[in-house]
Amino acid sequence: MTAPDRPATGAQDGLALAQRAGIHRIALPTPFLVGRVNCYLIEDDPLTLIDTGPNSGKTLDDLERALARHDRRIEDLELIVLTHQHMDHLGLLEILARRSGAEVAALDLLAPYLADFSRSAIADDDFAQAIMRRHGVPADLATVLGSLAAAFRAFGSSGRVTLPLGDGETLQLRDRTLRIFRRPGHSPSDTIFWDEERAMLIAGDHLLARISSNPLVSRPLAGPQQPRPRALLQYMNSLRATRELPAGLILPGHGDPILEHAELIDERLRMHRRRAVRVLRILDGHPLSAYEIALQMWGNVAVTQAYLTLSEVLGHLDLLVQMGQAAEREADGISVFEPV
Ligand SMILES: [Zn+2]
Q: What percent of the chain has pLDDT over 90?
A: 84
**What is the pLDDT confidence band of residue 223, given thresholds at 50, 70 and 90?**
low
User: Measured in angstroms, how far is the CA atom of residue 37 from the centroid of ligand 1?
Assistant: 6
Task: Report how far ligand 1's centroid is from the alpha carbon of 272 (Å).
Answer: 20
pTM for this entry = 0.93
- Residues 168-182, mean pLDDT to the nearest whole number: 98
Rounded to whole angstroms, how far apart are CA atoms 27 and 317?
A: 35
**Which domains can be identified in the chain, with CATH numbers?**
11-126+151-270 (3.60.15.10)
Q: How far is the CA of 220 from the centre of ligand 1 (A)?
A: 18
The model's pLDDT over 258-300, given as tens digits with 9 standing for 90+, comes to 999 999 999 999 999 999 999 999 998 789 999 999 999 999 8
Ligand 1 centroid, distance to 262 Cα (angstroms): 21
Q: 53: CA distance to ligand 1 center in Å? A: 9
**Contact predicate 63/26, CB 8 Å:** yes
pLDDT (tens digit per residue) in 45-103: 999 999 999 999 999 999 999 999 999 999 999 999 999 999 999 999 999 999 999 99
What is the side-by-side strand order in the sheet with 288-289?
A: 288-289, 334-339, 326-331
CA of 27 to the centre of ligand 1 (A): 12
For the chain, helix, strand, coil in percent to 5 are: 45, 20, 40
Give the pLDDT confidence score for residue 6 in this predicted structure.
44
Distance 173 CA to ligand 1 centre (A): 25
Please give the pLDDT value at position 229: 86
Distance (Å) from CA 301 to ligand 1 centroid: 20
- How sure is the predictor about 4, in pLDDT bands with cuts at 50, 70 and 90? very low
Percentage of residues in the chain with pLDDT exceeding 70? 96
pLDDT at 226: 63
Residue 224 is predicted with a pLDDT of 59
Give DSSP secondary structure letters for 149-213: HHHHGGG------SEEE-TT-EEE-SS-EEEEEE--SSSTT-EEEEETTTTEEEEETSS-SSBPP
Could you tell me the distance, in angstroms and rounded to a whole number, from the CA of residue 89 to the centre of ligand 1?
Answer: 6
Helix (H) or strand (E) holding 13: helix 11-20
Protein residues placing their CB within 5 Å of the ion ligand 1: 88, 205, 253
Work out whether strand 334-339 and strand 326-331 pair parallel, antiparallel, or are unpaired: antiparallel
How far is the C-alpha of 302 from the C-alpha of 97, rounded, in Å? Answer: 38
Listed range (98-112, 171-185, 214-228) with the worst mean pLDDT: 214-228
Is residue 1 scored above 80 in pLDDT? Answer: no
Coil, strand or helix: which one is 50? strand
CB atoms within 10 A of CB 240: 11
pLDDT at residue 213, rounded to an integer? 85
Q: How far apart are CA 253 and CA 263, in angstroms?
A: 19
Is the pLDDT assigned to residue 3 strictly greater than 80?
A: no
Model pLDDT, residue 322: 95
For residue 105, the model assigns a pLDDT of 98
For 181-217, the pLDDT digits (tens) are 999 999 999 999 999 999 999 999 999 998 888 889 9
Ligand 1: distance of its center to the CA of 130 in Å?
24
Q: What distance in angstroms lies between residue 88's CA and the mean position of ligand 1's atoms?
A: 6
Helices 117-134 & 306-322, crossing angle to 10 degrees?
60
Q: What pLDDT sits at residue 8?
A: 54
- DSSP string of 202-271? EEETSS-SSBPPP------SSS---SS--HHHHHHHHHHHHHTS--SEEEESSSS-BS-HHHHHHHHHHH
Residue 131 C-alpha to ligand 1 middle, in angstroms?
22
101: Cβ–Cβ under 8 A, 6 or more apart, which residues?
none
- The rounded Å distance from CA 320 to ligand 1 centre is 27
| pLDDT given at position 328 | 95
Per-residue DSSP letter, 74 = G
Q: Measure 67 CA to ligand 1 centroid, in angstroms.
A: 21
pLDDT in tens, 300-338: 888 888 899 999 999 999 999 999 999 999 988 899 999
- Residue 2: DSSP 8-state: B
